[in-house]
Amino acid sequence: MTKPIYILNGPNLNRLGKREPEIYGRTTLAEVEAMCREAAGDRPLRFHQSNAEHEIIGWIHEATDEGAGIIINPAAFTFTSIAILDALKMFPGPIIELHISNIHRREAIYHNSLVSKTATAVIAGLGANGYGVAVGAMLTLLQTRG
């Protein structure tokens, strides 16, 4: 059976498309999910969002047992969560860290990603379209690995 790609979204991303459209755009998280499913084709996806760190860690553990790859937008946990970093270190497959905005163009508090230390690749600044790009890149990474 084909293993799923996990797409994990951190705090406040359930509000996507409803606040700060000048930074995060007008696409909702439900629309992002639809975009990812379209880009994934036959590859199964498990798409989740949580405002709770422990839930995200639980999904990373589940992906470690059952998943092929992880695409993660950890939102604010990017800069604070050693627990998420430690969980990702246990994951044997490719990890793509994704940000809707270009975090490096923003205030200094958004510059030091802990998650990047374990990511295979980082995508930032492509808006919601970055999710589709990430799914395409993940499919290529998984093909290359066999």
Give the binding range for ligand CA2 (CB under 6 A) out of 8-16, 48-56, 58-66, 136-144: 8-16
36 close to 138: Cβ distance less than 8 angstroms? no
Q: Using alpha carbons only, give the angle 60, 47, 103 rounded to the nearest 5 degrees.
A: 75
| Pick 20 or 86: Cβ nearer ligand CA2 | 20
Instruction: Enter the tokens of residue 36.
Output: 């990812």
103 phi, psi to nearest 5 deg: -60, -25
Give the binding range for ligand CA2 (CB under 6 A) out of 53-61, 82-90, 98-106, 138-146: 98-106
Size of the site for ligand CA2 (CB under 6 A): 16
- Catalytic: which of 6, 54, 99, 104? 99
Amino acid code (one letter) for 36:
C
Q: Does residue 75 touch ligand CA2 according to CB under 6 A?
A: yes
In this structure, what is the dihedral angle of CA atoms 103, 117, 146, 43, given to the nearest 10 degrees?
-40
Interface with ligand CA2 by CB under 6 A: which residues? 12-13, 15-16, 19-20, 24, 73, 75-76, 78, 99-101, 103, 110
